[in-house]
Amino acid sequence: MNTPDILTPELINPLTYQSFRQLVDELVANNQTSGPEQTEERIGYTRLNQQRMKRVEKQFAINPDLLAALQQPRPEWHWVVLVESWCGDGAQQLPALAAIADAVPTIELTIILRDENPAWMDTCLTNGSRAIPKLICLNAETNERLFTWGPRPLAILEQVLHFKEENPNATKEEIGTLVHTQYAKDRSQSLQQDLLRLAQQAIPVQEKEEGVVS
């Protein structure tokens, strides 16, 4: 049974990972940030995220189980990632997502800025908020949405929630320190475990619908 193409919002100013990295470099050089809110705080976060992305790029190693799952016969996927240059969680995830997509020819990665693409963002809110990064996985042929992920790996999210329960008066800075300390220890493994679970759920559905025989 053929699945009709699904209409999706227009991608406003879509970027490759390399063009996003170039954008961040230009923003840092010009003492700016992405989005309309040009505050010193967000400009500082953008500068910090430039270094975070470089570190993840050097340290990332793909999970063999995830690679094997993504290399199974299936229709091509399109990963659309919503982010902004000042987003610390985005800086920790994007290099890993880009490396995974680069290793799997049947995955195309497109990055779009949240504030330029509200029509996309508002389809994948987190508890009513525009939390980023958000990954939307589409069937590249039909635009069917297969899954969404974000804004944080489940394991790290659970640690943050536990910390908040134990420390109800924790400051934003204390929570941020915890988050990025966990990212440094985790080295993208929790992200990849999340993606492995989502891929295993999505691929059998596609094989059945598309008649792919493994």
Contact assessment for residue 78 and residue 27, using Cβ atoms and an 8 Å cutoff: no
Contact assessment for residue 101 and residue 109, using Cβ atoms and an 8 Å cutoff: yes
Burial class (CB in 10 A: 0-12, 13-18, 19+), 60: middle
* CATH 3.40.50.740 corresponds to the domain 17-151+191-210: no
**Span 86-141, pLDDT tens digits:** 999 999 999 999 999 999 999 999 999 999 999 999 999 999 999 999 999 999 99
Peptide bond preceding 73 in cis form (omega within 30 of 0): no
**What is the chain's pLDDT, residue by residue, as a tens digit (214 residues)?**
344 556 789 999 999 999 999 999 999 999 999 999 999 999 999 999 999 999 999 999 999 999 999 999 999 999 999 999 999 999 999 999 999 999 999 999 999 999 999 999 999 999 999 999 999 999 999 999 999 999 999 999 999 999 999 999 999 999 999 999 999 999 999 999 999 999 999 986 555 455 444 4
Residues 6+ apart with CB under 8 A from 121: 82, 114, 130, 132, 134
Quick one: how far is CA 15 from the chain centroid? 13
Beta bridge partners of 113: 83
**Helix (H) / strand (E) containing 196:** helix 189-210
Burial class (CB in 10 A: 0-12, 13-18, 19+), 88: middle
The pTM assigned to this predicted structure is 0.91
